Amino acid sequence: MARFIIENSPPLKGSVKISGSKNAVLPILAASLLTEDKCVIHEVPDQSDVDTMCTLLERLGAGIHWDKNAGIISTAASGKLHAEAEYELVSKMRASFSVMGPLLARLGEVNVPLPGGCAIGARPVDLHLKGFSALGAEVVQEHGNVRARAKKLKGARVYLDFPSVGATENIMMAAVLADGVTFLENCAVEPEIVDLANFLNSAGAEIRGAGTDTIKIAGVKTLSGADHTIIPDRIEAGTYMVAAGITRGDITVTNVVADHLKPLIAKLKEVNLNVSETDAGVRVNYEEGRRIVAADVKTLPYPGFPTDMQAQFMSLLTLAEGTSIVTETVFENRFMHVGELKRMGADIKIESRSAVIEGVKRLTGAQVKATDLRAGAALVLAALTATGTTELSDIYHIDRGYCELAEKLRLLGANIRREEENGEKNN
């Protein structure tokens, strides 16, 4: 399997262009199943999760054309669609489950494997299913699959017990073609939800209130095609912003929406980094002589601190002066990076859903494993500042959600290279 070899690097400097958001493009691709017409999606990041979604859509009967150089995917779900998704693809990527809402709305029946748990937690789909039931679908779980059927979905009031991102998206996609009006209450307010609603509205849906905790969806008969540009990836941006801090550097992230980065910006300032909005984007820089200090972080649904930035920010805190407490409230098991960071010399103790981090003077290079996507990114960041060499394995996790991570970091001055399985060096 491929791995990264990372050496202690100088302070990273320069600017880096952020790609389109992984978590926005995946449901938008699923949503393209709602229309027979052609959809054109711009700023699509070249990541393996997007590959997986494209393969799934093709197997379901959609036509997909991905111009990777231009970052544009065209979809056409005009022919006969299949109502069954394959276990192999759904188990590989949980976001595959987001085809359920669109298929149910378009075909009136769907059969999708339960995605099951993953490294960061059990990740049930009960809220998705409650939503489909509320819209009038008959939902049955058997043999590890979920089957849902409804001649015609009907608008309803759906209250989510937790503002789940995936459930909000799936139910919203199902409701756009329902008879009547759906109110989705206590729903997620993440920017990716707004992007999905914008895509659907440009295809003729009538969705109001996305980005607030109540979304109103007035069902329409059909959707047309749409031309849509994906929002920038706030988690990729955040990762480079932390890279500036951990290497005591000066990085400007471009192609970002600064508003989406508010919770992270607040924490970067709290640890004593300078953060400013410039015409080009958002600049994070370390001021010589200023000490990076500890901070407490609690992950929460948006606009709270994102769970997808928890691991990367923890890497920064391992070197901060004092004691930090990081509390993970969104997922029950999202501290796998802790063991790996400890192998690099970090002083971290886990107490229930919190990690207590005593800042150390330096980290040391080691052989470590990417246990999931963001944990992998956190270890890359730690390795940039660690003394000596770090060999990071299982980087296929990182490929799922970062576009050209090593290339972009190298342009900022990082010593990182990729080695393929056969020992071949690959840039």
Please give the residue ranges that form the binding site for ligand UD1 (CB under 6 A).
23, 26, 94-95, 121, 123-128, 162, 164-167, 188, 192, 307-308, 330-331
Catalytic residue among 39, 54, 118, 187: 118
Residue-wise burial string across 395-417, b where 16 or more C-beta atoms lie within 10 A, e elsewhere: bebbbbbbbebbebbbebbbebe
Amino acid sitting at position 122: A
Please report how close the Cβ of residue 278 comes to ligand UD1 at its closest, in angstroms.
28
Please report how close the Cβ of residue 123 comes to ligand UD1 at its closest, in angstroms.
4
Separate counts of helices (H) and strands (E) for the chain: 14, 24
Nearer to ligand UD1, 27 or 365 (CB): 27
- Which strands, in side-by-side order, build the sheet including 425-426? 367-369, 389-393, 3-7, 415-419, 425-426
Nearer to ligand UD1, 9 or 75 (CB): 75
Nearer to ligand UD1, 95 or 414 (CB): 95
Kindly report the backbone phi and psi dihedral angles of residue 266, in degrees, each rounded to the nearest multiple of 5, phi listed first: -60, -45
**Which element (helix H / strand E) includes 217?**
strand 214-218
Nearer to ligand UD1, 9 or 315 (CB): 315
Radius of gyration of the chain (CA): 22
Please report how close the Cβ of residue 94 comes to ligand UD1 at its closest, in angstroms.
6
Nearer to ligand UD1, 185 or 206 (CB): 185
- What does the block give as tokens for 181? 């009006």
Distances (CA, A) of 329 to 117, 129, 151, 298, 332: 17, 23, 38, 7, 7
- Are 21 and 259 spatial neighbours (Cβ–Cβ below 8 Å)? no
Q: Which residues contact 32 (CB under 8 A, 6 or more apart)?
A: 39, 41, 57, 62, 75, 77
Please report how close the Cβ of residue 193 comes to ligand UD1 at its closest, in angstroms.
9
Active site residue 118: yes
Write the DSSP string, 85-143. --HHHHHH-GGGGGGHHHHHHHHSEEEEE----BTTB----HHHHHHHHHTT-EEEEET
Separation CA 251–CA 283 (nearest Å): 6
Please report how close the Cβ of residue 404 comes to ligand UD1 at its closest, in angstroms.
20
Nearer to ligand UD1, 115 or 365 (CB): 115
Please report how close the Cβ of residue 320 comes to ligand UD1 at its closest, in angstroms.
24
The catalytic residues are 118
